[in-house]
Homo-oligomer: A and B are copies of this chain.
Amino acid sequence: MNVMIIGAAGMIGRKLSERLAKDGGLSGKPIERMTLVDIVAPSQPAGFAGKVGLETADLSAPGEAARLVDLRPDVIFHLAAIVSGEAEADFEKGYRINLDGTRALFEAIRLAGEGYKPRVVFTSSIAVFGAPFPETIGDEFFSTPLTSYGTQKAICELLLSDYSRRGFFDGIGIRLPTICIRPGKPNKAASGFFSGILREPLAGKEAILPVSEDVRHWFASPRAAVGFLIHAAEMDLGRLGDRRNLSMPGLAATIAEEIEALRRAAGDAAVKLILREPDPTIMRIVAGWPRAFDTKRAEALGFRADASFDALINAYIEDEPRARG
Protein backbone atom coordinates (compact mmCIF):
# COMPACT_ATOMS: atom_id res chain seq x y z
CA MET A 1 0.00 0.00 0.00
CA ASN A 2 1.22 3.40 -1.06
CA VAL A 3 -0.67 6.10 0.84
CA MET A 4 -0.57 9.87 0.35
CA ILE A 5 -1.93 12.48 2.75
CA ILE A 6 -2.29 15.96 1.28
CA GLY A 7 -2.71 18.44 4.10
CA ALA A 8 -0.63 16.25 6.41
CA ALA A 9 0.62 19.14 8.57
CA GLY A 10 -2.87 20.06 9.75
CA MET A 11 -4.32 18.72 12.98
CA ILE A 12 -6.39 15.95 11.38
CA GLY A 13 -3.61 15.18 8.88
CA ARG A 14 -1.11 14.69 11.71
CA LYS A 15 -3.47 12.47 13.66
CA LEU A 16 -4.26 10.44 10.56
CA SER A 17 -0.58 9.89 9.74
CA GLU A 18 0.10 8.87 13.35
CA ARG A 19 -2.79 6.42 13.28
CA LEU A 20 -1.66 4.92 9.94
CA ALA A 21 1.92 4.68 11.25
CA LYS A 22 0.65 2.85 14.34
CA ASP A 23 -1.68 0.54 12.39
CA GLY A 24 1.00 -0.13 9.78
CA GLY A 25 -1.68 -1.14 7.29
CA LEU A 26 -4.90 -0.25 5.50
CA SER A 27 -7.58 -2.57 4.13
CA GLY A 28 -5.65 -5.50 5.57
CA LYS A 29 -2.52 -4.71 3.54
CA PRO A 30 0.75 -3.36 4.93
CA ILE A 31 1.56 0.28 4.15
CA GLU A 32 4.94 0.25 2.44
CA ARG A 33 5.11 3.92 1.72
CA MET A 34 3.47 7.01 3.16
CA THR A 35 3.87 10.37 1.43
CA LEU A 36 3.00 13.35 3.58
CA VAL A 37 2.31 16.54 1.67
CA ASP A 38 1.55 20.05 2.84
CA ILE A 39 2.32 23.63 1.99
CA VAL A 40 4.55 23.69 5.07
CA ALA A 41 6.88 20.80 5.85
CA PRO A 42 4.93 17.93 7.50
CA SER A 43 6.59 16.06 10.37
CA GLN A 44 7.66 12.43 10.36
CA PRO A 45 5.18 10.18 12.20
CA ALA A 46 6.72 8.15 15.03
CA GLY A 47 7.19 4.39 14.86
CA PHE A 48 6.41 3.72 11.19
CA ALA A 49 8.24 0.75 9.66
CA GLY A 50 7.73 1.73 6.02
CA LYS A 51 9.20 4.52 3.90
CA VAL A 52 8.07 8.07 4.52
CA GLY A 53 8.25 10.82 1.93
CA LEU A 54 7.83 14.40 3.12
CA GLU A 55 6.77 16.83 0.40
CA THR A 56 6.26 20.57 0.50
CA ALA A 57 3.87 21.41 -2.30
CA ASP A 58 1.14 23.82 -3.38
CA LEU A 59 -1.30 21.74 -5.45
CA SER A 60 -2.44 24.80 -7.34
CA ALA A 61 1.08 25.55 -8.66
CA PRO A 62 1.73 24.31 -12.22
CA GLY A 63 3.04 20.75 -12.38
CA GLU A 64 2.85 20.09 -8.64
CA ALA A 65 -0.21 17.83 -8.73
CA ALA A 66 1.31 15.78 -11.57
CA ARG A 67 4.56 15.44 -9.62
CA LEU A 68 2.66 14.01 -6.64
CA VAL A 69 0.50 11.74 -8.79
CA ASP A 70 3.71 10.39 -10.41
CA LEU A 71 4.25 8.57 -7.10
CA ARG A 72 1.09 6.57 -7.91
CA PRO A 73 -0.42 6.39 -4.43
CA ASP A 74 -3.11 3.71 -4.06
CA VAL A 75 -5.00 5.91 -1.60
CA ILE A 76 -4.95 9.71 -1.54
CA PHE A 77 -6.37 11.52 1.48
CA HIS A 78 -6.99 15.07 0.32
CA LEU A 79 -7.46 17.20 3.42
CA ALA A 80 -5.69 20.36 2.27
CA ALA A 81 -7.61 23.63 2.30
CA ILE A 82 -7.37 27.13 3.56
CA VAL A 83 -9.94 27.73 6.26
CA SER A 84 -13.26 29.49 6.05
CA GLY A 85 -12.15 32.83 7.44
CA GLU A 86 -9.17 33.10 5.11
CA ALA A 87 -11.18 32.01 2.06
CA GLU A 88 -13.69 34.75 2.89
CA ALA A 89 -11.02 37.39 3.42
CA ASP A 90 -9.02 36.49 0.30
CA PHE A 91 -11.41 35.57 -2.50
CA GLU A 92 -8.74 34.72 -5.08
CA LYS A 93 -6.59 32.66 -2.73
CA GLY A 94 -9.62 30.67 -1.57
CA TYR A 95 -10.60 29.70 -5.10
CA ARG A 96 -6.99 29.02 -6.06
CA ILE A 97 -6.20 26.71 -3.16
CA ASN A 98 -9.56 25.14 -2.36
CA LEU A 99 -10.99 24.81 -5.86
CA ASP A 100 -8.17 25.01 -8.41
CA GLY A 101 -5.79 22.99 -6.23
CA THR A 102 -8.31 20.18 -5.86
CA ARG A 103 -9.22 20.28 -9.53
CA ALA A 104 -5.51 20.14 -10.44
CA LEU A 105 -5.19 16.99 -8.34
CA PHE A 106 -8.24 15.40 -9.98
CA GLU A 107 -6.96 16.36 -13.44
CA ALA A 108 -3.49 14.96 -12.74
CA ILE A 109 -5.09 11.64 -11.78
CA ARG A 110 -7.31 11.65 -14.89
CA LEU A 111 -4.36 12.39 -17.14
CA ALA A 112 -2.06 9.80 -15.53
CA GLY A 113 -3.47 7.04 -17.71
CA GLU A 114 -2.01 3.49 -17.62
CA GLY A 115 -5.16 2.31 -15.83
CA TYR A 116 -4.24 4.30 -12.72
CA LYS A 117 -7.35 4.60 -10.54
CA PRO A 118 -6.63 5.44 -6.92
CA ARG A 119 -9.02 5.76 -4.02
CA VAL A 120 -9.53 9.47 -3.24
CA VAL A 121 -10.85 10.43 0.20
CA PHE A 122 -11.78 14.11 0.28
CA THR A 123 -12.75 16.05 3.40
CA SER A 124 -15.67 18.31 2.72
CA SER A 125 -17.49 20.37 5.30
CA ILE A 126 -20.93 21.04 6.74
CA ALA A 127 -20.25 24.59 5.42
CA VAL A 128 -21.78 23.36 2.13
CA PHE A 129 -25.11 23.94 3.92
CA GLY A 130 -26.51 27.40 4.57
CA ALA A 131 -29.36 28.65 6.76
CA PRO A 132 -32.31 28.47 6.89
CA PHE A 133 -32.15 24.79 7.82
CA PRO A 134 -34.74 22.22 8.79
CA GLU A 135 -34.55 20.95 12.40
CA THR A 136 -32.17 18.22 11.23
CA ILE A 137 -30.37 18.22 7.87
CA GLY A 138 -31.07 15.01 6.00
CA ASP A 139 -29.04 13.21 3.35
CA GLU A 140 -30.93 14.87 0.47
CA PHE A 141 -30.87 18.50 1.67
CA PHE A 142 -29.41 20.90 -0.86
CA SER A 143 -26.11 22.76 -0.78
CA THR A 144 -26.57 26.50 -0.42
CA PRO A 145 -23.30 27.61 1.14
CA LEU A 146 -23.11 31.08 2.65
CA THR A 147 -19.34 31.35 2.46
CA SER A 148 -16.82 31.09 -0.36
CA TYR A 149 -15.20 28.22 1.56
CA GLY A 150 -18.48 26.29 1.60
CA THR A 151 -18.96 27.05 -2.11
CA GLN A 152 -15.49 25.71 -2.91
CA LYS A 153 -16.13 22.53 -0.92
CA ALA A 154 -19.53 22.03 -2.60
CA ILE A 155 -17.95 22.44 -6.05
CA CYS A 156 -15.21 19.93 -5.20
CA GLU A 157 -17.92 17.47 -4.09
CA LEU A 158 -19.56 17.78 -7.51
CA LEU A 159 -16.22 17.31 -9.29
CA LEU A 160 -15.39 14.30 -7.13
CA SER A 161 -18.72 12.69 -8.05
CA ASP A 162 -18.29 13.32 -11.74
CA TYR A 163 -14.67 12.12 -11.88
CA SER A 164 -15.71 8.99 -9.97
CA ARG A 165 -18.72 8.39 -12.23
CA ARG A 166 -16.47 8.68 -15.27
CA GLY A 167 -14.09 6.13 -13.75
CA PHE A 168 -11.04 8.39 -13.36
CA PHE A 169 -10.74 7.52 -9.69
CA ASP A 170 -12.77 5.96 -6.90
CA GLY A 171 -13.75 8.92 -4.74
CA ILE A 172 -15.63 9.65 -1.55
CA GLY A 173 -16.27 13.04 0.04
CA ILE A 174 -17.00 13.17 3.75
CA ARG A 175 -18.41 16.21 5.53
CA LEU A 176 -16.85 16.39 8.96
CA PRO A 177 -18.74 17.75 11.97
CA THR A 178 -17.10 20.48 14.04
CA ILE A 179 -14.05 18.88 15.62
CA CYS A 180 -14.13 18.92 19.42
CA ILE A 181 -11.98 18.91 21.48
CA ARG A 182 -9.46 20.55 19.13
CA PRO A 183 -6.05 20.23 20.81
CA GLY A 184 -3.57 23.09 21.01
CA LYS A 185 -3.88 26.77 21.65
CA PRO A 186 -7.07 28.83 21.37
CA ASN A 187 -7.49 30.20 17.86
CA LYS A 188 -9.59 33.01 16.44
CA ALA A 189 -12.14 30.84 14.65
CA ALA A 190 -15.70 31.81 15.56
CA SER A 191 -16.23 28.14 16.47
CA GLY A 192 -13.18 28.06 18.74
CA PHE A 193 -15.14 28.31 21.98
CA PHE A 194 -16.84 24.92 21.46
CA SER A 195 -13.46 23.31 22.14
CA GLY A 196 -12.08 26.09 24.29
CA ILE A 197 -14.67 25.79 27.07
CA LEU A 198 -13.55 22.19 27.57
CA ARG A 199 -9.85 22.27 26.65
CA GLU A 200 -8.88 25.30 28.73
CA PRO A 201 -10.68 24.27 31.98
CA LEU A 202 -9.24 20.72 31.62
CA ALA A 203 -5.82 22.43 31.68
CA GLY A 204 -6.81 24.54 34.70
CA LYS A 205 -7.24 27.68 32.61
CA GLU A 206 -10.11 30.09 32.10
CA ALA A 207 -12.16 30.05 28.89
CA ILE A 208 -14.72 32.44 27.48
CA LEU A 209 -18.22 31.31 26.49
CA PRO A 210 -19.61 33.92 24.08
CA VAL A 211 -23.02 32.30 23.41
CA SER A 212 -25.91 31.04 25.53
CA GLU A 213 -26.05 27.53 26.95
CA ASP A 214 -28.96 26.45 24.76
CA VAL A 215 -26.88 26.73 21.56
CA ARG A 216 -26.88 23.34 19.86
CA HIS A 217 -24.12 22.14 17.53
CA TRP A 218 -22.74 19.05 15.78
CA PHE A 219 -19.50 17.47 16.97
CA ALA A 220 -16.94 14.75 16.40
CA SER A 221 -13.71 14.08 18.23
CA PRO A 222 -10.44 14.09 16.28
CA ARG A 223 -10.33 10.33 16.96
CA ALA A 224 -13.77 9.83 15.38
CA ALA A 225 -12.77 12.00 12.41
CA VAL A 226 -9.68 9.87 11.80
CA GLY A 227 -11.93 6.81 12.09
CA PHE A 228 -14.19 8.24 9.34
CA LEU A 229 -11.18 8.78 7.06
CA ILE A 230 -9.87 5.24 7.56
CA HIS A 231 -13.32 3.75 7.02
CA ALA A 232 -13.73 5.86 3.86
CA ALA A 233 -10.41 4.50 2.59
CA GLU A 234 -11.30 0.87 3.34
CA MET A 235 -15.01 0.50 2.57
CA ASP A 236 -16.51 -0.79 -0.67
CA LEU A 237 -17.40 2.43 -2.48
CA GLY A 238 -19.70 0.53 -4.82
CA ARG A 239 -22.19 0.84 -1.96
CA LEU A 240 -22.29 4.62 -2.50
CA GLY A 241 -23.62 4.39 -6.04
CA ASP A 242 -23.33 7.75 -7.76
CA ARG A 243 -23.84 9.74 -4.55
CA ARG A 244 -20.27 10.04 -3.46
CA ASN A 245 -20.53 12.73 -0.78
CA LEU A 246 -22.13 12.40 2.59
CA SER A 247 -22.43 14.05 5.97
CA MET A 248 -20.66 12.19 8.73
CA PRO A 249 -22.46 11.17 11.89
CA GLY A 250 -21.79 13.31 14.92
CA LEU A 251 -23.00 14.20 18.33
CA ALA A 252 -25.67 16.88 18.53
CA ALA A 253 -25.16 18.61 21.86
CA THR A 254 -25.98 21.89 23.53
CA ILE A 255 -23.42 23.99 25.36
CA ALA A 256 -25.22 23.01 28.59
CA GLU A 257 -24.66 19.33 27.76
CA GLU A 258 -21.00 20.04 27.01
CA ILE A 259 -20.65 21.73 30.39
CA GLU A 260 -22.32 18.87 32.27
CA ALA A 261 -19.95 16.39 30.59
CA LEU A 262 -17.03 18.59 31.67
CA ARG A 263 -18.39 18.57 35.22
CA ARG A 264 -18.51 14.76 35.20
CA ALA A 265 -14.95 14.57 33.82
CA ALA A 266 -13.26 17.30 35.84
CA GLY A 267 -15.64 18.55 38.55
CA ASP A 268 -17.18 21.88 39.52
CA ALA A 269 -13.79 23.57 39.74
CA ALA A 270 -13.28 23.10 36.01
CA VAL A 271 -16.79 24.34 35.18
CA LYS A 272 -16.15 27.50 37.25
CA LEU A 273 -13.34 28.40 34.84
CA ILE A 274 -15.89 29.07 32.09
CA LEU A 275 -16.52 32.81 31.93
CA ARG A 276 -19.79 33.93 30.35
CA GLU A 277 -19.12 36.90 28.08
CA PRO A 278 -21.92 37.09 25.49
CA ASP A 279 -20.63 38.31 22.12
CA PRO A 280 -23.40 39.46 19.74
CA THR A 281 -21.19 38.98 16.65
CA ILE A 282 -20.33 35.38 17.48
CA MET A 283 -23.94 34.71 18.53
CA ARG A 284 -25.11 35.92 15.12
CA ILE A 285 -22.55 33.80 13.22
CA VAL A 286 -23.35 30.69 15.23
CA ALA A 287 -27.09 31.17 14.69
CA GLY A 288 -26.45 30.59 10.96
CA TRP A 289 -24.75 27.23 11.52
CA PRO A 290 -26.40 23.82 11.25
CA ARG A 291 -27.39 22.27 14.55
CA ALA A 292 -28.11 18.64 13.82
CA PHE A 293 -28.04 16.14 10.99
CA ASP A 294 -29.86 12.98 10.13
CA THR A 295 -26.99 10.80 8.92
CA LYS A 296 -28.82 7.52 8.32
CA ARG A 297 -26.90 6.91 5.14
CA ALA A 298 -23.42 7.27 6.66
CA GLU A 299 -24.44 5.13 9.63
CA ALA A 300 -25.80 2.40 7.34
CA LEU A 301 -22.45 2.54 5.54
CA GLY A 302 -20.62 1.88 8.80
CA PHE A 303 -19.42 5.34 9.86
CA ARG A 304 -19.50 5.66 13.66
CA ALA A 305 -19.72 8.83 15.75
CA ASP A 306 -18.51 9.28 19.31
CA ALA A 307 -20.89 7.48 21.68
CA SER A 308 -21.45 10.46 23.98
CA PHE A 309 -19.96 13.76 25.01
CA ASP A 310 -18.32 11.94 27.93
CA ALA A 311 -16.64 9.58 25.45
CA LEU A 312 -15.51 12.57 23.40
CA ILE A 313 -13.90 14.19 26.45
CA ASN A 314 -12.31 10.90 27.49
CA ALA A 315 -10.85 10.45 23.99
CA TYR A 316 -9.22 13.86 24.36
CA ILE A 317 -7.80 13.05 27.77
CA GLU A 318 -6.38 9.76 26.47
CA ASP A 319 -5.05 11.16 23.19
CA GLU A 320 -3.59 14.38 24.61
CA PRO A 321 -2.00 13.29 27.91
CA ARG A 322 0.00 16.49 28.21
CA ALA A 323 -3.05 18.70 27.87
CA ARG A 324 -4.19 18.35 31.50
CA GLY A 325 -3.49 21.19 33.91
**A236 interface hit (Cβ, 8 Å):** no
Q: Does A191 contact B (CB under 8 A)?
A: no
CB distance from A172 to the nearest CB of B (A): 14
CA distance A140 to B131 in the complex (A): 12
Does residue A143 face the partner (Cβ distance < 8 Å to B)? yes
Copies in the complex: 2
Bound together, the chains give a CA A143 to CA B143 distance in angstroms of: 8
Which of A101-126 touch B at CB < 8 Å? 110
Asked whether A155 is an interface residue with its Cβ less than 8 Å from the other chain, the reply is: yes
In the complex, are the beta carbons of A151 and B142 less than 8 A apart?
no
Residues of B within 8 A of A140 (CB): 134, 141-142
* Shortest Cβ distance from residue A245 to the other chain B in the assembled complex, whole angstroms: 9
Interface size on A, residues (CB 8 A): 23
Per-position contact with B for A56-93: 1 when CB-CB < 8 Å, else 0? Answer: 00000000000000000000000000000000000100
Name the distance in Å between A305's Cβ and chain B's nearest Cβ.
Answer: 22
Interface flag for A178 (CB, 8 Å): no
Query: Can you spell out 15 A-B residue pairs with CB atoms less than 8 angstroms apart?
Result: A91-B166, A134-B140, A140-B141, A140-B142, A141-B142, A142-B142, A142-B143, A143-B143, A145-B158, A146-B242, A151-B159, A151-B162, A154-B158, A155-B158, A155-B159
Q: What 3 A-B pairs have minimum CB-CB distances, sorted nearest first? A: A151-B162, A142-B142, A155-B155
| Chain A residues proximal to chain B, CB less than 8 Å | 91, 110, 130, 134, 140-146, 148, 151, 154-155, 158-159, 161-162, 165-166, 242-243
